[in-house]
Amino acid sequence: MSMNQEQIMALDNSLVWHPYSSIGSGLPIFPVESAQGVRIRLVDGRELLDGMSSWWCAIHGYNHPQMNRAIEEQLGRMSHIMFGGLTHQPAVELAAKLVELTPVPLQTVFFADSGSVSVEVAMKMALQYWHAKKHPEKQKFLTIRNGYHGDTFGAMSVCDPINGMHSIFSGVLPQQLFVDAPACGFNTACSDGDIAPFAQRLAENHKQVAAVILEPIVQGAGGMRFYSAEYLKRVRELCDKHDVLLILDEIATGFGRTGKMFACEHADISPDIMCVGKALTGGYMTLAATLTTREISETISSGDPGLFMHGPTFMANPLACSAGLASLHLLTDSPWHTRVSKIEINLHQGLVPCRELKTVADVRVLGAIGVVEMAEPVDMKTVQPAFIEAGVWVRPFGRLIYLMPPYIMNDKDLHTLTAAVRDVISNIR
């Protein structure tokens, strides 16, 4: 039996927790009936141009026939099968495709349920690697402030401990090592002074550090900050110098979002461990993966206890792997680089005028990412409905109003989207 909008909202307000919300919070919620291409249709009939790619993952838009066909064909064979002691073609094909696309040293793949879990897996890999190498004292992780790596406990421990979303858990989280985020922006040089705090912290603590973990080039939910590729390159050099692993969290940046297939390519470096997710399945299914080198995987496999200690129930779900494989073929068979470049041009042209507003602190664009940083936090109770009235779906947080549109969005729709952002922001006092 279908429900009308009032029935949906009554049950939602009474029963359902949304991300980072409280029951009955009073924040506006909008029931969705369907989605097609780059548009979301609400139950009340209004259509919204999607500026968020459903939190950065629906890079091909919605209800894509090739994606639908892959899911339907796999559903006819099996929707799920345990991955312990069994395997299947979608998983091994997807693993091969990921190894093909990612930097050359990454040769083995561990499938996970979500981005947060892939970060947990990466951290466990680093710890098990050093345990197998007879260096159990290497148990800490070093990172930069303003980072975000997920909501599970290990991932939370490497998120910003002060400005992040998890400060109330600080007493129970593992205590990691932090340095200030680099001040050198994207396309700027990284001076000795810029890298000095990181270099000093690593030099002083490398004997207890298992790995450095970073979001390469773009810090996502921790502030949508873009930093110098040269800084990342120098981090790689320092990790090599001090015999510390480098984990790169490409969950938000991977699969073309910054204009490169992976953001680490801006610095021409490769990590020892890489996390991918979000756009991996084009927004169809929850799936992530952690890739590492042959040397790390073989060291873990030959050390005590002789196996990697992780195994999700829904690991390598066949439906999700089929969606992932279809999504990656769609991406690599498309002129994705040209599309992302055109999005970057449109975002720049459409958002840079916001710099003239007194309420705006900064505007920055990289690839298919556009950010307007406000001087003060936005009031979601008024700003979110204003975007709905403008016919677009944009979900701000804190002081950030940002866009990450699907790669298939055309120039006309991008103009409409950025114009709506300008109009809504101009009415913020």
Catalytic residue, candidates 20, 268, 379, 381:
20
Catalytic residue, candidates 62, 148, 231, 407:
148
Quick check: 237 and 216 in contact, CB under 8 A? no
Catalytic residue, candidates 249, 260, 407, 413:
249
Sorted by sequence, the CB contacts under 8 Å of residue 386 that are 6+ apart come out as: 424, 427
The Cβ-side half-sphere exposure at 244, using a 13 Å CA radius, reads 30
Q: In whole angstroms, what is the distance from residue 211 CA to residue 243 CA?
A: 9
Catalytic residue, candidates 278, 402, 407, 413:
278
Q: In whole angstroms, what is the distance from residue 263 CA to residue 71 CA?
A: 29
Q: Terminus-to-terminus CA distance in the chain, angstroms?
A: 44
Q: In whole angstroms, what is the distance from residue 344 CA to residue 258 CA?
A: 9
Among 237, 252, 251, CA closest to 199: 237
DSSP 86-136: ---HHHHHHHHHHHHHS-TTEEEEEEESSHHHHHHHHHHHHHHHHHHTT-T
Quick check: 176 and 158 in contact, CB under 8 A? yes
Residue in the structure block whose two tokens are 């590492």: 292
User: Is residue 249 flagged as an active site residue?
Assistant: yes
User: Is residue 278 flagged as an active site residue?
Assistant: yes
Q: In whole angstroms, what is the distance from residue 104 CA to residue 168 CA?
A: 40
Q: In whole angstroms, what is the distance from residue 314 CA to residue 224 CA?
A: 31
The DSSP 8-state label assigned to residue 292 in this structure reads E
Q: In whole angstroms, what is the distance from residue 280 CA to residue 82 CA?
A: 21
Q: In whole angstroms, what is the distance from residue 293 CA to residue 28 CA?
A: 45
Active site residues: 20, 148, 249, 278
